Structure 1
Amino acid sequence: MTAALMRTRDAIVGTETIRTSPAQDAALDTAARLRRMDAQFRQAVLVSELLEDIAFQVEDYPEEGYDPPRRTARSVTVQRRAAGDGTGAAQYRPLATIIRPGVQDFAQAAPLVAAYAELRADRAAEILVQKEHLVPFAAAILPITPARTPAVIEMLETGLALVTPVVMRVKIALGCPRPSQFSDRIQPMIPEPGHPTLPSGHAMQMFTVATMLTLLAEPASVAVSDSQLYRLACRIAINRTVAGVHFPADSAAGAVLGIQLGRYLMARGQEQAGTVGSARFDGTRFHDRTRPRDFHSGILARMMAGGDPSTTFPDDAAAVRPAPLWQSLCKRAGDEWQTRWS
């Protein structure tokens, strides 16, 4: 193609003097210019805009009482910038706090991870595909196709892209070990990711998608743990335990973070910026007395209803700052959803 274009120009332009066309200033606003960019660059702009309001607060273990001293953080709070108060000073509110389980909590859960290996042959196809692709599984539940809902798909893909920098900051601070570090009998069926285990990134991604789609369909709705979307998110999270690379607590922490990030994204995507509250997951309390706790839709229902000691969703919703470029994409996605029957 390059050679052909060069030869063609030589033939039809030759050595003529170039005459420039009359110029004018840009007529499109920023949102319209965004639509003209290639998809990968649009996503970079949107992720940058959304990350501007995200911050992290790390709480270390106390210096006294631990011998040797603990080298990981005790907890990480993902914060989001609050709506302006007119002073110009940036103020942040908690979005989700994740407290690290103890090493013995992980050790007790390792046999549970090993037991899940019995399901590997049955779920191998899902596990391998889900390493790279998540949106098609949601598209099997709802009418989402590239031809009919391109903005919905782009909205979801942007949400998935935002998960990575957020979850990796939490992972690196908490520094939690993988299941195979506790036993050479676990033997994961896929290569272990090269980063700490809690929270599960796959769980966070799929719960972000489930929450975004739930709020796209009904902006005033609350997450329903027994919906098909949340059942799907639970299964994808569990598949990572089946594969031998995640503990159930990783999935639970990822679910809490994913639900909160989905709520945050959709609040910032409303035409009049909405509100979002906080959440807290305490990994040291994710157990049944002396037994490790599993993770599935029933556990998720307890967590979301306030019936599980590990998890709280306080009633403390407050306004978020508007995100104009992200709002422009969410508006197009909402318009597509409203005309999905056409």
Structure 2
Amino acid sequence: MSLQHGQHGQHGQHGQHGQGADASGRTIDDGLMAAALMRTRDAIVGTETIPPLAGKDGTLDAGGRLRRMEAEFRRAVLLSELLEDLAFEIEDYPEKRATAQAVTLLRRKGGKGVKHTPLARIVRPEVDDLGHAAPLVAAYAELRADRLAEILVQREYLIPFFASILPITLSRAPAVVEMLETGLALVTPVVMRIKIALGCPRPTQFSNLVQPMIAEPGHPTLPSGHATQMFTLATMLSQLVEPGSAMASDSQLYRLACRVAINRTVAGLHFPADSAAGAVLGIQLGRYLMARGSEGSTVGSAVFDGTRFRDGDRPRDFHYGILDLMLRGEDPSTGFGDDAAALRPAPLWQSLCARATGEWETRWS
């Protein structure tokens, strides 16, 4: 999974390689700018004693102050607020193994005190289940030439694929883009924490005939990071477009998420079970993010059991038909609970989500 989410372009990176930017975004050498500013001050200030102005208390609330910060620091603040309510519970096998049997992502409850409740529980498949799916991964290789461009671009860029469905380009909806980019940034520490605990092997570890078409990431396979990212974004956008709506597996947003997830299997990097686990985790993260972005929202729990993601003795594939069964509670591997409960307010994140909602509501202008 690439950490370079990249989305609409390399905006905001003028400060690299010794170059700064003026108010219009034009670049200039930092050393030359510093020398010019020093000489200008010497000329117009001289040796005068500076009389300080009378100060005043600030009038902007925290959300207003956040908006004035540079993008990278806004991202750090928002991630801190969102991550402080998440925790992990690691479950070992009854007979101790090197890996965990399951990981539960917990989220803090609303109200006083520090109490957590499950958001998503991911149960590790058995190694034999993954091994039996290796031939299925290898069979997907015949699609590589057809999907080459998608697979290469999706290593770095994800949001532009959603922007081809909805009017959320950076120029029209900067707050929506920032909201999505923050969601992507949240996925990385969460999914990596689960990956390292479960320690599931990659398809290449079962056969030297898989031969991925791009470099294989150096971390465990389940859940798929790309699947988690895409289903997080799809869920966030679904809730932005229609707050409180039910998850629709055949929507263009979820079809896109499935397509990108499957592309990682085509590339030889992931099992279908990795995508299924990422779908459940991503949907839950998307629900969590959007619930914390509005007052009075609730979110329930979900579980994905990798030991039950199969068709009898045969490995199961993943596509939006399977996703539909998972979302409707008709797949034995997956369950979405009816235990929705309130979350703590996240005022800084809410300020960004409110701006994003305003951009969406004025999209016809």
Q: TM-score range by the shorter chain?
A: over 0.9
* Residue of structure 1 in register with 2:161 after alignment: 137
- Structure 1 position 78 matched with structure 2 position 105: yes
How much does 1:334 deviate?
0.6
1:261 match: 285
**What's the offset of the Cα at 1:109?**
0.6
Whole-angstrom CA distance in 2 between matches of 1:239 and 1:200: 11
CA displacement, residues 125-183 of structure 1 (integer Å, 9 cap, x when unaligned) = 11111111110000000011112111111111111110011111111100111111111
Which of 91, 94, 97 is residue 118 of structure 2 equivalent to? 94
Q: Secondary structure at the match of 2:101?
A: strand
Residue 311 of structure 2: aligned partner? 288
- 1:226-264 Cα distance to aligned partner (Å, 9 max, x none): 000000000000011111111100000000000011011
**CA–CA distance in structure 2, aligned partners of residues 241 and 125 of structure 1:** 15
Q: Which residue of structure 2 lines up, in the alignment, with residue 115 of structure 1?
A: 139
- Map of 1:22 onto structure 2: 54
* Structure 1 residue identity aligned to 2:106: Q
Q: Deviations over 1:62-101 (max 9, x none)?
A: 12xxxxx5110000000111111xxx42111110100000
> Does the aligned pair in 2 maintain the 1:77–1:95 contact within 8 Å?
yes
Structure 1 distance, partners of 2:244, 2:123, is 29
Query: What TM-score, normalized by structure 2, do the two folds share?
Result: 0.90
Equivalent position SS for 1:188: coil
**Partner residue, 2:68:** 36
Q: Residue 48 of structure 1: CA displacement? A: 0.6
Give the superposition deviation at 1:39: 0.8
Shift of 1:19: 2.6
Partner of 1:247: 271
For 1:81-230, list aligned pairs within 5 A.
81-84=108-111, 88-230=112-254
- In 1, Cα distance between equivalents of 2:71 and 2:203: 37
Alignment gaps of 5+ in structure 2? 1-32
Contact kept? 1:285, 1:310, Cα under 8 Å: yes
Cα displacement (A) at 1:281:
0.4
Percent identity among equivalent residues? 74
Pairwise mapping of residues 262-341 of structure 1 onto structure 2 (< 5 A)? 262-270=286-294, 272-341=295-364
- 1: CA distance between counterparts of 2:59 and 2:299? 35
Q: Which residue identity does 1:305 align to in structure 2?
A: R
Unaligned runs of 5+ in 1: 64-68
List per-residue Cα deviations over 1:256-291 (Å, max 9, x = no partner).
Answer: 000011011111111x23000110100001011111
Tell me by how many angstroms 1:17 deviates: 2.5
Cα drift, residue 5 of structure 1: 1.7
CA distance in 2, matches of 1:12, 1:152: 43
Partner of 1:5: 37
TM-score (norm 1): 0.95
Paired residue secondary structure (1:79): strand
Distance in 2 of aligned mates of 1:120 and 1:18: 67
Letter in 2 for 1:12: I
Give the deviation of 1:340 after TM superposition. Answer: 0.5
User: Paired residues, what number?
Assistant: 333
